[in-house]
Amino acid sequence: MALLSLLDICVNFGGPAVLDHLNLQIEEGERVCLLGRNGAGKTTLMRIAAGEMAPDSGVITHHEGVTQARLTQEIPHHLPGNVQSIVESGLRTDSLEEEWERDVRVDSLIERLGLDPEKAFDDLSGGLKRRCLLAQALAAKPDLLLLDEPTNHMDLESILWMEEFLLEEKIPLLFVTHDRAFLRRMANRIIELDRGKLMSWSCDYDTYLVRKDELFIAEERQKAAFDKKLSQEEAWSRRSPGARRTKSNARMEALKVLRQVRADMRSVTGAAKMEISNADRSGERVVEAENIEFSYGNDQKVIRDLTLRLNRGDKVGLIGPNGAGKTTLVKMLMGQLEPTGGNIKFGTKLEVVYFDQMRGLINDDLTVAENLAGDSDTVEVQGRSRHVISYLQDFLFEPTRARSKAKVLSGGERNRLLLARLFTKPANVLVLDEPTNDLDAETLDVLEDLLVEYKGTLIIVSHDRDFLDNVVTSTLVFEGNGIVTEHAGGYTDWRNEVERIANGKRAQPIAAKPNAAPEIKPVAGKSSKLSNKDRQDIVELPGKIAELEAEQSKIAVQLADSEVYKNGGALFAELQKRLQAIDAEHHAAMQRWLELESRKG
């Protein structure tokens, strides 16, 4: 059953169409992730799907009786009431439930999300506000849940809880996220908004990345072939004296069509080009903390007896619940806050630059360019002067966007502007507080590569598990009660270490019986003997899998052709249906082949 259908949706804000005859259908059981570049129109599409905004044209259909709720990207300011009242406001007024059932659900959500029901919403941290708003959205028991950057400002514990909760509840989802670990775990379908069009991929994220590369290559080849044809026709029209005679009219009309098609083509936005303004090298020792502690005037210590040394080139990630003291530790390591116990020594020649999580450095009343360069037309990067508009293009701001007021920027664009500001400042120590919020996947990849190559020292606070795994060399984990432990590697290395320790403890009673023979239990229903049918399958399946993958690639090439989207998108729908069938066949074939291989031994 289709929970939501969007047909031929168009939205235009004066430039190229943001949504260009877009079609989307979401079925029961689907968890759909919406991807796209910052500013591509993802939030616009989410608002239309939620009924908060009307498109310029098109039809929106909700199945009768289907309810939906939305968690927005931005946290509302000055929302009156306490946590209890905010969550209760999400309850449906037309529900037939008994009042006690509604009360139980609200209390359960508040408890499971670790919230204080009496706490005023405005007094909560950014992460706790996010949890409260999620509870509000879930209170209505929606048939379809729309989530716009749900992991923003959430700590890892809350994110992991949310993943488990949403999977257990089996709530159909339409969501936007920059968190690739969340995306990998949650999405069973991916849709991508690119140049006003929507492409659907019925697969996991890693398979999508492979197919996306294939599609990009096919699109570039098609574009090159089109340009060659157009060039040939233009040359013919110039050198042929009779090009405008009656016999040639048809060819000239065809040339006009080619020109118009080329003019309407929208190229893929290039990748961001970032570079850090490096300061002179710091000394070998950056900061050394010995038995430091911190408390805010009460008996509860935020940091307890921490000894730590950071050397030049170290890349350290901080993980912990909201309110655990991560920002407090960062400020102490930056020299902005004195510890209440212990001492900190700082190295020489330190040039520290701080990336602010709350984006308080951006003035909404100034243009993007003015936020970066003030009244000047130039900025200094890597010791050389650059025109501010040219520099902003490296961060994917087109000239018209660079001259727009900052208040119109999307969340991802605001983060890119902050990164542009950050990288103009010479630094040998970078402190990044949630730098990945709202960034698109391509910009995230570029930022990761840049930070991996960075020769200075990094201190990173992030809930983005993939980002930490790819960038940091060690991790500080806030365990609670002021205890901070240090671990080699990123998030996954830390989790593996915790699991190894836990498994070691559980294994001790078994190890006490060294002479006990291991018990071997046969797997029920899994005979190691292969039947004739099994042996035939094990020979034929690799060929079938290869054929399916070849057909996948062929369809990817077809989907790159603009002709597919004409006549109401009938061919597009047919190709998408076949692609979904191929996905199912490919998965079944792979599972069968792997099972037979394991049984073959």
* pLDDT above 90 for 440: no
Q: How many CA atoms lie within 13 A of 149 on its CB side?
A: 23
Could you tell me which residue, 506 or 269, shows the higher pLDDT?
Answer: 269
Name residue 52's amino acid.
Answer: E
Same domain, 50 and 146: yes
Domains of the chain: total:
3
Same domain, 441 and 318: yes
**Residue 456 near residue 399, CB atoms below 8 Å:** no
Per-residue pLDDT tens over the stretch 40-74: 888 899 999 988 889 999 988 887 788 888 988 77
Structure confidence at residue 172 (pLDDT): 92
Q: Mind giving me the DSSP string for 517-576?
A: PPP--PPTT--SSPPHHHHHHHHHHHHHHHHHHHHHHHHHHHHTSGGGG-GGGHHHHHHH
CA atoms of 142 and 161, how far apart (whole Å):
18
Q: Find the domain containing 588 and state its range.
A: 532-600
| pTM (whole model) above 0.85 | no
Listed in order, strand segments (DSSP E) in 329-480 are 341-346, 352-355, 378-381, 384-387, 429-433, 457-461, 474-480
**Residue 36 near residue 440, CB atoms below 8 Å:** yes
- CB-count exposure of residue 594 (10 Å: 0-12, 13-18, 19+): exposed
Q: Is residue 596 part of a domain?
A: yes
Per-residue pLDDT tens over the stretch 112-158: 888 899 999 988 877 788 889 989 988 888 899 999 888 887 888 88
**Residue 362 near residue 372, CB atoms below 8 Å:** no
Percentage with pLDDT > 90 across the chain: 20
Same domain, 594 and 493: no
Instruction: Mark which of 193, 208, 223 sits at the end of a domain.
Output: 208
Q: Is residue 241 part of a domain?
A: no
Q: What confidence tier does 266 reach under pLDDT thresholds 50, 70, 90? A: low
Q: Please give the structure tokens belonging to residue 528.
A: 């190691």
* pLDDT above 60 for 523: no
Whichever domain contains 411, its CATH number is 3.40.50.300
Q: What confidence tier does 203 reach under pLDDT thresholds 50, 70, 90? A: confident
Same domain, 76 and 135: yes
Q: What confidence tier does 84 reach under pLDDT thresholds 50, 70, 90? A: very high
* pLDDT above 80 for 33: yes
Q: Please give the structure tokens belonging to residue 66.
A: 């289907």
Q: Is residue 242 part of a domain?
A: no
Per-residue pLDDT tens over the stretch 450-508: 888 888 899 999 989 999 999 999 999 998 888 999 998 999 999 888 888 877 654 34
Q: Mind giving me the DSSP string for 308-320?
A: EEEETT-EEEEE-
Rg, Å, the chain Cα set: 28
**Residue 318 near residue 484, CB atoms below 8 Å:** no
Could you tell me which residue, 91 or 226, shows the higher pLDDT?
Answer: 91
Per-residue pLDDT tens over the stretch 270-290: 556 666 666 677 788 889 999
* pLDDT above 60 for 228: yes
What is the DSSP code (8-state) at residue 464?
Answer: -
Structure confidence at residue 227 (pLDDT): 67
Q: Is residue 494 part of a domain?
A: yes
**Residue 337 near residue 329, CB atoms below 8 Å:** no
Same domain, 349 and 489: yes
Q: Is residue 216 part of a domain?
A: no
Long-range contacts of 555-564 (CB under 8 A, 24+ apart): 555/579, 555/582, 556/211, 556/214, 556/215, 556/218, 557/214, 557/215, 557/218, 557/222, 559/199, 559/215, 560/215, 560/218, 560/219, 560/222, 561/222, 562/261
Q: Mind giving me the DSSP string for 89-152?
A: TTS-TT--S-HHHHHHHHHHHHHHTT--TTSBGGGS-HHHHHHHHHHHHHTT--SEEEEESTTT
CA atoms of 269 and 196, how far apart (whole Å):
12
* pLDDT above 60 for 511: no
Q: What's the whole-number mean pLDDT along residues 526-541? A: 69
Q: How many CB atoms lie within 10 A of CB 583?
A: 18
* pLDDT above 80 for 516: no
Structure confidence at residue 512 (pLDDT): 37
Instruction: Mark which of 498, 517, 551 sits at the end of a domain.
Output: 498
Same domain, 467 and 538: no
Could you tell me which residue, 153 or 364, shows the higher pLDDT?
Answer: 364
- CB-count exposure of residue 470 (10 Å: 0-12, 13-18, 19+): middle
Per-residue pLDDT tens over the stretch 287-302: 999 999 998 876 678 8
Q: Is residue 514 part of a domain?
A: no
CA atoms of 278 and 19, how far apart (whole Å):
41
Q: How far apart are the first and last CA of the chain?
A: 43
Q: Are strands 197-201 and 189-194 parallel, antiparallel or unpaired?
A: antiparallel
Q: Please give the structure tokens belonging to residue 553.
A: 């690639």
Structure confidence at residue 252 (pLDDT): 63
Same domain, 441 and 548: no
Mean pLDDT of the chain: 80
Same domain, 25 and 141: yes
Q: Please give the structure tokens belonging to residue 521.
A: 């239990």
Closest CA to 193 of 298, 416, 24, 37: 37
**Sheet order of strands, 285-295 included:** 301-311, 285-295, 341-346
Q: Is residue 515 part of a domain?
A: no
* pLDDT above 70 for 439: yes
Q: What confidence tier does 402 reach under pLDDT thresholds 50, 70, 90? A: confident
**Sheet order of strands, 57-62 included:** 19-27, 2-11, 57-62
Same domain, 491 and 536: no
**Residue 286 near residue 347, CB atoms below 8 Å:** yes
Q: Is residue 290 part of a domain?
A: yes
Q: What's the whole-number mean pLDDT along residues 308-328? A: 89
Q: Is 77 helix (H, G, I), strand (E, B) or coil?
A: coil
Same domain, 46 and 155: yes
Q: What's the whole-number mean pLDDT along residues 18-43? A: 88
Q: Are strands 457-461 and 429-433 parallel, antiparallel or unpaired?
A: parallel
* pLDDT above 80 for 546: no
Q: What's the whole-number mean pLDDT along residues 521-545? A: 64
Q: What confidence tier does 363 reach under pLDDT thresholds 50, 70, 90? A: confident
CA atoms of 203 and 188, how far apart (whole Å):
6
Instruction: Mark which of 498, 520, 545 sits at the end of a domain.
Output: 498
Same domain, 569 and 489: no
Same domain, 199 and 116: yes
